[in-house]
Amino acid sequence: MHTIFWNIVEAANVAVEMLIVLLYFSKLFAPSYEYKRIYICGYSAAALILYLAGVLTTNSTVLISVTFALLLLISIILYQGTIIRKAFLSLLFIVIVFISEILFIGLLNILKIGSPSEIGNQGINRIIGMVGTKIIYFWIVIFVCRLINRKIKEIPIKQWITIILMPAVSTIILYIIYYDLMSSRENNKIILYCTAVLGLLYINFAVFDFFETYLKQLRLSVLEQVIERETTNYKQIENAYNDMRTLKHDISNQLDVITDLISRNDKKSAEAVIKSISLQLENVNAVCYTGEPIIDSVINIKLKYAHELGINITKRIKIAAFDLDKIELCRAIGNVLDNAIEGCQRSGLSEQHIYMSIQQVDDKIVVEVTNTAANVDLNNLQTSKKNRSAHGIGLSSIQNSVDKLNGYMKCDFKNNIFSLKMVVPNK
């Protein structure tokens, strides 16, 4: 009965720990699946493996390795995000566990409630240790999630190396402290260790705070670039609109002239005026017609600019009707074409080409743009502008618009051709 009881206690301890892991990951990652059963099965399997590992071995190094592997596997299978971010946050959870256990063990030792060895053995102190550490790292997890949230996903890949060093080094230090603490009975040493642990906790949070400030500055820089770009787009649309108004007025006057010439049977003069109108219409360069004026204006302005730069243009437009946020779609298409033009210019190739397709497929709008490009790293997409802090400004803006439209975006690069596909629901 004694063995059965402690097996139940250890199983309950593992189950609670996995529930905290579930809370941790659900706060920091977007789920990959809609069905709750998948997550129940995944976490149950992980809890079983972790429990069996605790039964089969007492080697802490093995247990830590198994825990880290399970956390990483869960995050990879069940959640969205980069592997390096998942590895970092899995490692950070190990740090949280270490910190919680050291602080609670130290507290009990200082209060003369129990020694580290007693907490590690079966008995009431073991149960107190389980409950106490879970309470501590539950609150640390809540705090860490609020601090990091999903903002940390915006950090460029290169910065992750710096970030991940802190919890990695902290894990090694905490590992050493933990084992020395388990064999120590000196209150002064225990107090020193607890102080050191709190210092490590503060340093880790300070690093996160630094990157939070860094991200705010990065987003501000990106926002300034977006405002500049969209101001330019607005001015271009405004100029195009004024040109069209002027053209409409001129053609209206010339039609009156044609009417007058015809009434006077001056066919030759009437034909000359008609020819003049035809030339004016050719100069308008209306290369695209979707049926939505604001979208047409942006596309025509961008493609006209690309044509002036010597970029060959191919297009395919087939839309029945737009039932979505046209302003947001217009913003996304404008940024897509800006990126395509920039990619062509940056390629340095003699033959530069942009292909654009906007199609309605069932209840979705599919925008595909391919352009000539060179040396594109899909894991580190950057603007060619001098301000490198505006990392991936165009793609960031496009992704933001796509998210608002409840769609998705995919990029690819092959044989000096960069392609972007954007799919959004037309509703």
DSSP calls for 258-278: HHHHHHTT-HHHHHHHHHHHH
Q: How far is CA 396 from the centre of its chain?
A: 8
Q: Which residues contact 229 (CB under 8 A, 6 or more apart)?
A: 334, 335, 338, 397
> DSSP secondary-structure letter at 412?
E
Question: Distance between CA atoms of 381 and 392, rounded to whole angstroms?
Answer: 6
Nearest alpha-carbon partner for 46 in 13, 74, 78: 74
The larger pLDDT score, comparing residue 115 to residue 308, is at 308
Strand partners, 424: 365
The larger pLDDT score, comparing residue 388 to residue 92, is at 92
Residue 368 has pLDDT above 90, yes or no: yes
Question: Distance between CA atoms of 344 and 306, rounded to whole angstroms?
Answer: 9
Question: Distance between CA atoms of 348 and 352, rounded to whole angstroms?
Answer: 9
Residue 121 has pLDDT above 60, yes or no: no
pLDDT band at 387 (very low <50, low <70, confident <90, very high): very low
Question: Which residue carries 């809370």 as its tokens?
Answer: 23
pLDDT tens-place string over residues 165-195: 666 677 677 667 766 666 655 556 666 766 7
pLDDT of residue 125: 66
| Most trustworthy range by pLDDT among 37-51, 108-122, 252-266, 280-294 | 37-51
In Å, what is the CA distance from 284 to each residue of 236, 243, 281, 303?
Answer: 14, 9, 5, 12
**Residue type (1 letter), 141:** V
Nearest alpha-carbon partner for 335 in 212, 232, 211, 219: 232
pLDDT band at 389 (very low <50, low <70, confident <90, very high): very low
Residue 144 has pLDDT above 80, yes or no: no
Q: Which residues contact 3 (CB under 8 A, 6 or more apart)?
A: none
pLDDT band at 265 (very low <50, low <70, confident <90, very high): confident
In this structure, how many other beta carbons lie within 10 angstroms of the beta carbon of residue 198? 14
Residues in the chain: 427
**Residue type (1 letter), 11:** A
pLDDT band at 375 (very low <50, low <70, confident <90, very high): confident
Residue 61 has pLDDT above 80, yes or no: no
Cα 196–Cα 200–Cα 201 angle in degrees, nearest 5: 115
**Superfamily for domain range 287-427:** Histidine kinase-like ATPase, C-terminal domain (3.30.565.10)
Could you tell me whether strands 312-318 and 353-361 are parallel, antiparallel, or unpaired per DSSP bridges? Answer: parallel
Question: Which residue carries 């987003």 as its tokens?
Answer: 219
Is the Cβ–Cβ distance between 395 and 346 less than 8 Å?
no
174: which 2 tokens? 């905490």
Among 16-20, 116-120, 328-332, 404-408, whose mean pLDDT is lowest? 116-120
pLDDT of residue 353: 92
pLDDT band at 370 (very low <50, low <70, confident <90, very high): very high
The larger pLDDT score, comparing residue 76 to residue 192, is at 76
Residue 156 has pLDDT above 60, yes or no: no
pTM of the model: 0.46
**Mean pLDDT over each residue of the chain, to the nearest integer:** 76
Domain ranges of the chain: 2-224, 287-427
φ and ψ at residue 313, rounded to 5 degrees: -125, 130
In this structure, how many other beta carbons lie within 10 angstroms of the beta carbon of residue 131? 13
